[in-house]
Structures are given as structure tokens and as C-alpha cells.
Amino acid sequence: MSDTVIRVEALCKSYDTAAGPFPVLKEVDLAIAAGEFVAVMGPSGSGKSTFMNILGCLDRASSGRYLLDGRDVATLDRDALAALRGRTIGFVFQGFNLLPRMSLEDNVALPLVYAGVERDERRRRARELLAKVGLETYAASLPNRISGGQQQRVAIARALVNRPRLILADEPTGNLDSHTSEEIMALFTALNDEGITVVLVTHEPDIAQFASRQVRFLDGRIVHDGPTVHTPATEPAPC
């Protein structure tokens, strides 16, 4: 594999609770190279979301190192972290997290506003991305007018609009039925084919089959890390 996008060394995270610090991640080591498609799996409460939030620069580790593109994010200030979230990383949430009062086009264009892109260019790119996820006809609609699967596609379009090199998705299909899930996964696969690194959390082995590498968490530690073993029943279906 070529250059490493994500390198995590002895990463620990504990939450402060009333009963004292509660360790969630315990000495996690992981390296992900550019262009990989990684599925993160594990039982509920094993620390997957906590890990993804740290990778997405939404949260900070308690100890250990996280190097993104070789840079230690612990050394970055708030503005630099904002720039990473806006330009380098595209984060996709389980709950879509679209802004309810904005049209789909404005939702998709919002990261460009913060990146200082001109209005016409913002429009053009937002439309282009909406077309890419097959929703250009809904550009002016509000998020509550479309289905969950469509909302997740808009959220993916928003994550992509600033041309990130890394997509992080925390259970992107968690709220969707299996057919819609496969559509979303096909989208991720296509993005990965374009060279974008994709890391996604999922509970379902079927979804994990789309990835080329699977990492399994258990109780805050990585207990398995290896290439996907394809089973005949879960061949990626065309969308």
C-alpha cells in the first residue's frame, strides 16, 4: 500500500462520568492507507463511534497519537481542525444530520460556504453532487420531504462536496432497509473506486462485505483486522 492516511498509535479515550473516568478505547493501533475501504465492526458499546468521532476530529483522544496525513491532530488549533473537517474529511452520520430548514441544495452547499467558495461555484458543485447521488430534481426541497435513504444520499453528497480524500461513516445504513442500504453501499463503493478512502462502521456482515478490509472492535480494543472474506451469498449486488 502507498501512503498512510490514518495512523493511530496507542490511542486511549475515557469519558468522565460521575463514577470517575470510564475507559472506552484501550491502546488502539491502526493504520489505514490511501484508497482503502475499511469496515469497522463490533458489538454495541465496544467504542466504534467513539473511535470514529476521534478520526473525524469531532472529539479528542485522551492519550496516544492520531496522525492524519502524517500530522498529529493534537497539535492543531480549533481553526485547523475545522479546516480538516471541512476539506479533508467527509463525515456521514447514522441520523443524516441535514439542517431541516434548508433546501437540499443549500444543505449540500453549506461546507462550501465555510470553505469560502463563491456563490455560483457553490451552486454548480451542489447541483453536480446532487446529480451524482441521483437527487438533482429535489434540489429545492426541504429534507423532511424525502425518504431516509434519499436523505442519506444528500448527506453523502454534502460530505463529498468539498472533495475530501477521506470519508468516515458511522452506521450510514443503520436507519435504512436492506435494499436502500445496498444503494448507499454501492455509492460508497463507487467513491472508493475513484480513490477516496472510506471507513465505515456497521453492525451487519452483509454491509461489511462491501469493504475490502474488516476491523473488529471488542471492549475498546481491536480484536480482528484482515481482508474481507467474500461469501457467495453476499456478493455486491449492482444498484
Partner 1 sequence: MLSAMLGEAWRAMGANRLRTFLTMLGMIIGVGAVVLMLAVGQGAQYAVSQSINTMGSNLFIVLAGPPSSGGVRSASGGGATLTRADGDAIAELPGIDVVAPVHSGSAQVVYGPNNWNTSVFGTTPDYLEARSWTVAEGDAFTDSDVRAATRVALIGKTAASNLFGSESPVGKTLRIKQTPFVVLGVLASKGQSLDGRDQDDTIIVPITSAQRKLFGTPFPGAVRMLMIKASSAEAMPSTEKAMVALLRQRHRLREGADNDFMLRNLTAIADSAAETTRIMSLLLGAIASVSLLVGGIGIMNIMLVSVTERTREIGIRLAIGARERDVLLQFLLEAIIISLAGCFIGLFVGIGGALLVNALTDTAVIISGSAGLIAFAVAAGIGIFFGLYPAKKAAALDPIEALRYQ
Q: Which residues bind Mg ion (CB under 5 A)?
A: 49
Burial class of residue 135 (count of CB atoms within 10 Å of its CB; 0-12, 13-18, 19+) = buried
Burial class for 230, CB neighbours closer than 10 Å (0-12, 13-18, 19+): exposed
82 is a contact residue toward partner 1 (CB under 8 A) = yes
Contact (Cβ atoms closer than 8 angstroms) between residue 43 and residue 221 = no
Residue 113, binding choice from ligand ATP, partner 1, Mg ion, none, Cβ under 5 to 8 Å by partner class = partner 1
Helix, strand or coil for residue 29?
Answer: strand
Q: Which stretch binds ligand ATP (CB under 6 A): 30-38, 48-56, 64-72, 181-189?
A: 48-56
User: Cβ of residue 47: shortest distance to partner 1, in angstroms?
Assistant: 14
For the record, the C-alpha cell of 65 comes out as 497519537
Q: How far apart are the first and last CA of the chain?
A: 29
Amino acid found at 163: R
Residue 85 site contact among partner 1, ligand ATP, Mg ion, none (CB < 5 to 8 Å, cut-off depends on kind): partner 1
DSSP 238: P
49 vs 93: CA distance, rounded Å: 10
Q: Judged by CB under 6 A, which stretch of 38-46, 71-79, 126-134, 184-192 contacts ligand ATP? A: 38-46
Q: Which of 190, 203, 179, 93 is nearest to 143 (CA)?
A: 93
Choosing among partner 1, Mg ion, ligand ATP, none, which partner's interface includes residue 191 (Cβ < 5 to 8 Å by kind)? Answer: none
Q: Is the separation of the CB atoms in 230 and 209 below 8 Å? A: yes
- Choose the one of Mg ion, partner 1, ligand ATP, none that binds residue 63, judging by a C-beta under 5 to 8 angstroms depending on kind: none
Of 38, 50, 161, 198, the one binding ligand ATP by CB under 6 A? 50
Q: Which element (helix H / strand E) includes 31?
A: strand 20-33
Query: Least distance in Å: CB of 194 to partner 1?
Result: 20
**What whole-number distance in Å separates Cα of residue 126 and Cα of residue 115?**
13
Nearest distance from C-beta of residue 42 to ligand ATP, angstroms: 6
Candidate list 15, 72, 121, 179; residue touching ligand ATP; CB under 6 A: 15
Binder of residue 111, out of Mg ion, partner 1, ligand ATP, none (CB less than 5 to 8 A by kind): partner 1
Q: Do residues 55 and 28 lie in contact, with contact meaning Cβ atoms separated by under 8 Å?
A: no
Quick one: what does residue 119 bind among ligand ATP, Mg ion, partner 1, none, with the CB cut-off 5 to 8 Å set by partner type? partner 1
**Positions in the binding site for partner 1 (CB under 8 A):** 53, 56-59, 78-79, 82-83, 85-87, 91, 93, 97, 99, 101-102, 110-111, 113-116, 119, 122, 158-159, 162
**Positions in the binding site for ligand ATP (CB under 6 A):** 15, 17, 22, 24, 42, 44-50
